Amino acid sequence: MAVALLSACATYAPASLGAGEGAASVMQLTAPVAPMPALALPEHRFDPSDGLDVTEVAMLAVVNSPALKVKRDELGIARAQAFSAGLLPDPQLSFGKDYLTHPGPGLSSAYNLGLSEDVTALLTRSSRRAAARSQAEQVNLALLWAEWQSVAQARLLFDQVQTLRAQQVRLRIEQAALAPLEPAIHKALRAGNLTYDGASVGFNAGADVRKRLADSAIALHQAETDLHVLLGLAPSAPLDLVGAPYRASPTPEQVQQALADLPRRRPDLLALQAGYQSQEAKLRAAILAQFPALNIGFTTARDTTDVSTRGFSIGITLPLFDRNRGNIAIEKATRQQLKDDYEARVLDTRSDMQRLVADLATLTQQRVTLAAHAQQLDAARRAAETAWQQRLLDWPTYLAIRGNALGTDLDLLDLQQQQATRAIALEALLGNTDLATAHPVSVKAAMP
């Protein structure tokens, strides 16, 4: 019996802490299609040798995100708790022996042997198992929702990095175009052909471009750092992003259809529903536990006169004061809180989606207008540059035209990112990949 008990025991094995350095290159990482969330990523072959497109970045985020690894560990804990809740309580074995202080004829040592079981724990077992299973399902759905959010975050960071890199390119072009201007201003100042008041316009133009370039570089460093962390990469790992950012354009019909069955598809809402079911089971268990705690056992004994007896024992708690009323009140209040939390989440989600739809409509219209305006200012900038080279235009007017064109180009890039951010957020809220008009996963073309 001792051998059988020892063979079923768990054994200890130490586990050392890692260094937390991250992968030195994306070539060290893999992203199999099998574990990908079906509603968040299309089937796509992972091949980082020619750079990472937006889908491959999202795949890496799902598989290698340190935050998601912690979520998966939480799921392992919840499943272990569900396993623990289903185990039967161990019976209690008791044995006692009494030795004679003064032996005499007809007397012998006495003993008693008993075996008992907690019946109340058996009565509440089904409720505890149901609560633990629902809790594990809640954690599993919360993990799926976290994966969806990681996919959306990867797409957003991809778009942000590409946009900031495009801003850097545009600002460097402007900086190179303005580079010959400052020496000419200094020359005019030394010759007495220009006052400092007039020269300030040219100096400010160059300083403004340098400031914008520095601000854009700092924002790019932050975005690239966030993307490295999300993908589980070391800070120094190269990040070669290729292809177009993710674009989604939901129609009003798609939004309304997704809104109609939202509580049946969104993992976070399904997780809250599973948590509510778990709480219902906990409340049932608390109500069952208000009945008297019952412990039943069987005994056999022999007294000092060598008389053997057999019998049973019953232990019962008298429900006079407690009757588990405190726990029942706590579980009821917790259930009400979960109910209100779920209804508030659904309402907030519907409101957020309606706001995002309205924002997208506004941004789409604004983008069309701003793009046309940017084309006009770019044409004006090219004409002004030609006139400036032919000395047909004064340099303050030339700089003003260039500054307006630069500001509009940067505003257009920023507007495109705002539109992408809201479209990706809306798709994540709806949980529908059909909203994407095109998934840029087949062709890897460099950003213009």
pLDDT (0 to 100) of residue 105:
80
**Can you tell me whether residue 30 is helix, strand or coil?**
coil
Q: Give yes or no for residue 42 having a pLDDT over 50.
A: yes
Which amino acid is it at 262?
Answer: L
Q: Rg (Cα) of the chain, in Å, rounded?
A: 36
Q: Give yes or no for residue 434 having a pLDDT over 60.
A: no
Average pLDDT, the chain: 82
Local confidence band at 54 (pLDDT 50, 70, 90 cut-offs)? confident
pLDDT (average), residues 263-274: 87
Q: Give yes or no for residue 446 having a pLDDT over 50.
A: no
pLDDT (average), residues 440-445: 30
* Residue 209 CB coordination number (10 Å): 22
Q: For residue 65, give both structure tokens.
A: 């995100």
Which residues, 6+ apart, have CB-to-CB distance to 377 below 8 Å?
A: 401, 404, 405, 408, 409
pLDDT (average), residues 143-164: 91
Local confidence band at 130 (pLDDT 50, 70, 90 cut-offs)? confident
Most confident of 176-185, 251-260, 341-350: 341-350
Measured on CA atoms in the order 383, 384, 387, 392, is the torsion positive or negative?
A: positive
Q: Give yes or no for residue 440 having a pLDDT over 50.
A: no
Name all domains of the chain by residue range, CATH numbers in brackets.
93-123+291-323 (2.20.200)
The pTM (predicted TM-score) of the whole model is: 0.78
DSSP one-letter string for 79-96: HHHHHHHTSPPPPEEEEE
Q: Give yes or no for residue 40 having a pLDDT over 70.
A: no
* Residue 90 CB coordination number (10 Å): 9
Which residues, 6+ apart, have CB-to-CB distance to 119 below 8 Å?
A: 294, 295, 296
Local confidence band at 12 (pLDDT 50, 70, 90 cut-offs)? low
Rounded Cα gap, residues 285 and 256, in angstroms: 40
Local confidence band at 223 (pLDDT 50, 70, 90 cut-offs)? very high
Q: For residue 299, give both structure tokens.
A: 């005994």
Local confidence band at 45 (pLDDT 50, 70, 90 cut-offs)? confident
Q: Give yes or no for residue 216 having a pLDDT over 90.
A: yes
Rounded Cα gap, residues 128 and 137, in angstroms: 14
Q: Summarize pLDDT for 60-99 with one digit per residue, the tens.
A: 888 888 888 888 888 888 888 888 888 777 888 888 888 8
Which amino acid is it at 365?
Answer: Q
Local confidence band at 251 (pLDDT 50, 70, 90 cut-offs)? confident
Q: Which residue has the higher pLDDT, 96 or 192?
A: 96
Q: Summarize pLDDT for 385-430 with one digit per residue, the tens.
A: 899 888 888 878 888 899 999 999 999 999 999 998 888 888 888 7
pLDDT (0 to 100) of residue 37:
62
Which residues, 6+ apart, have CB-to-CB distance to 382 below 8 Å?
A: none
**Can you tell me whether residue 239 is helix, strand or coil?**
coil
pLDDT (average), residues 263-267: 84
pLDDT (0 to 100) of residue 408:
93
pLDDT (average), residues 235-243: 87
Which is nearest to 78 in space by CA: 307, 247, 278?
A: 278
Q: Give yes or no for residue 6 having a pLDDT over 80.
A: no
DSSP conformational letter for 91: P
Picking from 49-53, 76-80, 99-103, 112-116, which range would have the lowest pLDDT averaged per residue?
99-103
Which amino acid is it at 100?
Answer: L
Q: Give yes or no for residue 164 having a pLDDT over 60.
A: yes
pLDDT (0 to 100) of residue 410:
94
Q: Give yes or no for residue 438 having a pLDDT over 50.
A: no
Q: Give yes or no for residue 181 having a pLDDT over 50.
A: yes
User: 220-253: buried (b, 16+ CB within 10 Å) or exposed (e) per residue?
Assistant: beebbeebbebbbbeeebeeebbbbbbbbebeee
Q: For the chain, first and last CA: distance in Å?
A: 75
Rounded Cα gap, residues 271 and 160, in angstroms: 30
Q: Give yes or no for residue 337 having a pLDDT over 60.
A: yes
Q: Give yes or no for residue 311 having a pLDDT over 80.
A: yes
Local confidence band at 439 (pLDDT 50, 70, 90 cut-offs)? very low
Q: For residue 234, give both structure tokens.
A: 């070391």
pLDDT (average), residues 218-236: 92
